[in-house]
Amino acid sequence: MPSKIPEGATRGWIVPIGGAENKENDRHILERFVRVSGGHDANIVVIPTASRMHETGPRYEKLFTELGAAQVATMDFDTRRDCQESGRLRRLEEATGIFFTGGNQLRLTTLLGGTPVAKMIRTRNASGVAVGGTSAGASILSEHMIAFGDEGSAVVSGSVRLAPGLGLTNRFIIDQHFRQRDRLGRLITALAYNPFAIGIGLDEDTGAFIGPDETIEVEGSGGVTVVDASEVTYSSISEVSEGQPVCMLGLRVHILTTGATFNLHTRLAEAAGLARSKE
C-alpha cells in the first residue's frame, strides 16, 4: 500500500518514463528529473537491478552527474538479503532522488518486493523524495504492475498478467514503449480488471512527471495515452472466457504531448499552453 504522507510533508514527484529516453543531445527528461530531485543539490541513487548489463548503472550515474546533480551513486541488488543491509538503507535515506533503470520488472519485484528497501522507498517518496524509472523501472512504480501481456489493440480476456508493484501509488497502472509496441489492448484489459485506476501508456522518450498535487505533466518527444475507466457503464470481462474479446462501454481516452496535463484527482485534461508547471 502507498505510504501515508507525514503531517506537514509533501509527497515527492513520481516520474515514469516510457523507455529509450534521449541520453545524448536532448536530455530534457533526465534533466528535469534532476531538477525535481533538488537540482544542483540533488543526491540521486540509481538502481539498475532490472538490467543484466553491468554498464547500465554507471551510465546513468555519469548522465546525472553531467546534468548537474551534486551526488550520484549506483546501488544494485543481487539478492533479497542485500535489501536488508543497514548501509544501503542509510544511503537511500540520504537521497533526494531515486531512479530505476530498465530491464525486467519481475526481477525488480522478486528481489525488492516486501523488503525494507521497498518500504524505505515508499516512505521517502511520501516524505518528498522524487522517485522515477524508465521502461521496466516505470512499470514497477505503481501498486498494480503489468508483468507481461499480448501486444495489439484488441481487448482480450487473459491478454495481460498483473503483479504487485512497488506501491508508491494506487492511482494508476503504467505501460511503456506504448505506441512503439502497440500495447493499447493490454492496458485497457488491465483496467477492465481494475477500473479504479487510470491507465498511463508512455511512448518512448516520453515521461509523465506526476507532482504532489497528482497532476501529470508530459515531457519528451512522444505522447502519453491516458485511459480513464471511471465512467465505464458496462464490461463483459467477468462473462467471457480467456482469449475472447471484451466489450467495454464508456471509456475515455486522452492523448497528451509535451506541456499537456491530466489531473488524477479531478480526471480533467488540459492541452499545452493551458497548463502551468507546478515545480
**Model confidence pLDDT, tens digit, residues 249-271:** 999 999 999 999 999 999 999 99
Is residue 2 domain-resident?
Answer: no
Residue-level pLDDT at 276: 52
Q: For position 2, what pLDDT does the model report? A: 84
The answer as to whether 277 is a domain residue is no
Q: Is residue 46 part of a domain?
A: yes
The residue written with cell numbers 529516453 in the block is 21
Amino acid 22 reads N
Asked whether residue 155 is domain-assigned, the answer is: yes
Tell me which amino acid residue 209 is. F
Find all residues with CB under 8 Å of 135, minimum gap 6, and list them.
17, 18, 19, 20, 50, 101, 102, 103, 176, 177
Domain membership of residue 3 (yes or no) is no
- What is residue 194's predicted lDDT score, i.e. its pLDDT? 86
State what percent of residues in the chain have pLDDT above 70. Answer: 97
Candidates 135, 142, 159, 235; catalytic one: 135
Query: Which domain, by its residues, includes 135?
Result: 14-270
Averaged confidence pLDDT in the chain: 96
Across residues 215-243, what is the average pLDDT? 97
**Residue 221 annotated to the active site:** no
Euclidean distance between CA atoms 267 and 255, whole angstroms? 13
Query: Is residue 277 scored above 50 in pLDDT?
Result: no
Farthest-apart Cα atoms in the chain, separation = 55
| 158 φψ region: left (φ > 0), alpha (ψ -120 to 50), beta (else) | left
Asked whether residue 278 is assigned to any structural domain, the reply reads no
Segment 152-176 mean pLDDT: 96
- 22 within domain boundaries: yes
* Segment 154-183 mean pLDDT: 97
For the question of residue 61 being annotated catalytic, the response is: no
Task: For 25-90, give the secondary structure using H, E and C.
Answer: CCCHHHHHHHHHCCHHHCEEEEECCCCCCCCHHHHHHHHHHHCCCCEEEECCCCCHHHHHCHHHHH
Specify the number of domains making up the chain: 1
Task: Out of 21, 204, 217, 219, pick the active-site residue.
Answer: 204
In a domain, 4, yes or no: no
User: pLDDT (tens digit, 9 = 90+) per residue, 20-63?
Assistant: 999 999 999 999 999 999 999 999 999 999 998 999 999 999 99
Residue among 97, 91, 92 nearest 43 (CA): 97
The pLDDT of residue 186 is above 60: yes
CATH of the domain at 228: 3.40.50.880
Higher pLDDT, 3 or 177: 177
Q: Is the pTM of this model over 0.85?
A: yes
Residue 273: per-residue pLDDT:
81
Residue 275, pLDDT above cutoff 60: no
Q: Which of 51, 142, 159, 177 is catalytic?
A: 177
Instruction: Based on the residue annotation, tell me whether 177 is a catalytic residue of this protein.
Output: yes
For the segment 91-105, the average pLDDT, to the nearest whole number, is 98
Whether 279 shows a pLDDT value over 80: the answer reads no
